[in-house]
Amino acid sequence: MKNWFPSKNKWRELLCTGLIALLLVAASCTSTTTTTTSSAAITTTTAPVTTATNKSINVFAGSASQPPLLDAAQIFEQKNNIKVNFTFGGSGTVLSQMLLAKSGDLYIPGSPDYLIKAQAQGVVAANDNGTLLAYLVPAILVQKGNPKNIQSLSDLLRPDVTVGIANPASVCVGLYAIEILDKNGLLDKLEQAGTVKTYATSCENTATLIALKSVDAVIGWSVFASWNPDTTDVVYLKGSEIPRLAYIPAAISTFAQDKVSAQKFIDFLASKDGQAIFSKYGYQVSESEAKKFAPASTVGGVYNLPTGFTTLVK
């Protein structure tokens, strides 16, 4: 290899090289802004804005509430001049993103289970139980017209049926699916039947499995049918089969920079106008509405995956 330092002053030139390298590194370090938000975002959507704003809030939400939140943000931005940036994904996934990036103003998971996890991790204050936005009813979702004639949980064991479930470790509805199967004594049977083909990575993903006809049935929230009415039908479970109903809580995170604006958005979502948006998308906005599907169920609380539970997918 040719000696690229032909002169005797090689030490001086080595020093020059080192100095220039250090300068380049220092220059690149100081020029980067220190916003570390959502560099690993799975979906980041910004509701379109027509007015110039200088206030903004970052909302990390489970995709269980994506359609109404996007609509609500548009109206909120026009009224209040506050830009709303969303990061959607599995409730557990976006929680991890908030934790690692140490940023985010609002956390809106798809179930109170994840709010409790957020409190345990210090992302939400321990005494803040969030504001209830809407209720969620677990149900079986099938392709439009229900071609495989799936009428109940036990139909999911049939060998001619393919099933999809959300990942119970990172998605709100996945945990509820496992709980329902567990409490109805079907968990082991379903694993042996081998009909569960995949774990979806978020609520949106779970709904898309049906919309794209990738599987015959998923266990999800009943509102999935309102998201994709042309491709999805809902098969309601018996009230006795549902141990717990879920709800969508919204809480200000401990990393929030603009708590006032964040609270304004929560207030808007809980107001009459905000609740009307949730109703429009088929969500149950009052406990009595939700309890119609499962009168004996409880709301909230915790369910832990059974010890030794690994996977349902063969």
Q: Which span sits near another protein by CB under 8 A: 12-20, 64-72, 175-183, 288-296?
A: 12-20
Single out the residue of 58, 63, 198, 253 in contact with another protein (rule: CB under 8 A): 198
Q: How many H-runs (helices) and E-runs (strands) does the chain carry?
A: 11, 12
Nearer to another protein, 47 or 173 (CB): 173
Position 137 contacts another protein (CB under 8 A) = no
Position 30 contacts another protein (CB under 8 A) = no
| Cα within 13 Å of Cα(243), Cβ side | 14
**Residues 62-91 close enough to bind another protein by CB under 8 A:** 89-90
Cα separation, 300 vs 280, in Å, equals 24
Cα separation, 226 vs 277, in Å, equals 13
Q: How far is CA 244 from CA 81, 96, 291, 299, in A?
A: 38, 25, 10, 6
Position 109 contacts another protein (CB under 8 A) = no
Position 167 contacts another protein (CB under 8 A) = yes
Q: How far is CA 35 from CA 38, 41, 101, 103, in A?
A: 9, 14, 9, 9
Position 16 contacts another protein (CB under 8 A) = yes
Q: Which span sits near another protein by CB under 8 A: 11-19, 44-52, 57-65, 101-109?
A: 11-19
Q: Is 299 exposed, middle or buried (0-12, 13-18, 19+ CB in 10 A)?
A: middle
User: Minimum Å distance from CB 77 to another protein?
Assistant: 29
Residue ranges that bind another protein, judged by CB under 8 A: 4-7, 13, 16-18, 20-21, 24-25, 40, 89-90, 92-93, 95-96, 99-100, 167, 169-170, 197-201, 212-215, 310-311, 313-314
